[in-house]
Amino acid sequence: MLRELRGKYKGTALGWFWSLLNPLAATLIFTVVFGAILRVTPTVGANGVQNYTLFLLCALLPWNFFNGVVNGGMAAMLDNANLIKKTAFPRHLLVLSATVSLFVTFAIEMAVLAVALLVLGVNPILWLIPALILMILLAVFATGLGLMLSVANVYFRDSAHVVTIAMQVLFYATPVIYPLTLVSDVSPTSLVARLHIDSLYFLNPLVHYVEAFRDLLYEHQIPDLTTVLVVVLSSGASLWLGWVVFNRFAGRLAEEL
């Protein structure tokens, strides 16, 4: 099932390089736009380090992974239609293979980030194991969504459009490019507060994932209990629901494709 990984960049001369170039470009853009031009003040990390790029990467890399798994899962069935119609094998492997191959890339990116943190004076060694557990929980959460969307996309081919928009909203509804404190500090008279957007905000499980990553890697503190609970429960619920939905519809995949 390494097929995804090896097929993806084969034929392009720089191969693996491209898979790292993309997040690199995004990091550069966000650092310039939000760090330098809009002057978003990052929170103060461990050892008094205050660096927008590190602050950003601790959330951007998990976000990219999540985004990749959801989109990869969604495309998994349609891209492999021929395989599904002609061979018998457990169909969920297609979604899992997308997750696994993206997880490898994710892990490499996180390793690079860990080195960067070390170089810039925030030694993350002790926090790598909890971070790895968190990475796995995020993978489980995203896979559950991927499973659901993979079958939804077969039955409704325009699901992809809806999901693209949803992911765009979700990106800004998650504290990736700005600190969470900005949301908690909105003035009670503002439009955001009056529409209760700030209370809705915390219903987004990704907020908690991203905060947990930042707690562990950037600020070196244990995430609070609510965050931990939301992360653990949401990943379990997502996988369970994804599995149920997937199995409900997987039987007729070969004829619907």
Alpha-carbon distance of 70 to 125, in angstroms, equals: 30
**Is residue 86 at the binding interface for another protein, with CB under 8 A as the rule?**
yes
**Is residue 196 at the binding interface for another protein, with CB under 8 A as the rule?**
no
Task: Calculate the CA dihedral of residues 78, 82, 84, 87 and round it to 10 degrees.
Answer: -170
Could you give the string, one character per residue 122-161, with x where binding to another protein holds by CB under 8 A and - elsewhere? ---------------------------------xxxxx--
Task: Give the one residue of 48, 89, 165, 185 binding another protein; rule: CB under 8 A.
Answer: 89
Query: Given the complex with another protein, which of 135 and 147 has the nearer CB atom?
Result: 147
**Is residue 6 at the binding interface for another protein, with CB under 8 A as the rule?**
yes
SS3 of residue 110 by DSSP: helix
Q: Are 113 and 23 in contact (CB under 8 A)?
A: no
Q: Give the sign of the dihedral formed by CA 26, CA 109, CA 169, CA 162.
A: positive
Half-sphere exposure of 223 (CA within 13 A, CB side): 24
Place of tokens 């194991």: 129
Which parts of 2-51 fold into alpha helices (H)?
A: 3-9, 16-30
* Total binding residues toward another protein, as defined by CB under 8 A: 25
Burial of 202 (0-12, 13-18, 19+ CB in 10 A): middle
CB of 18 to another protein, least distance (A): 14
**Is residue 192 at the binding interface for another protein, with CB under 8 A as the rule?**
no
Query: Given the complex with another protein, which of 91 and 208 has the nearer CB atom?
Result: 91
Determine the distance from the C-alpha atom of residue 65 to the mean position of all C-alpha atoms in its chain, rounded to a whole number: 4
**Is residue 88 at the binding interface for another protein, with CB under 8 A as the rule?**
yes
Alpha-carbon distance of 1 to 101, in angstroms, equals: 8
**Is residue 165 at the binding interface for another protein, with CB under 8 A as the rule?**
no
Query: Given the complex with another protein, which of 84 and 216 has the nearer CB atom?
Result: 84
CB of 2 to another protein, least distance (A): 8
Query: Given the complex with another protein, which of 54 and 253 has the nearer CB atom?
Result: 253
Which stretches of the chain bind another protein, using CB under 8 A? 1, 3, 6-7, 10-11, 82-89, 155-159, 162, 251-252, 254-256
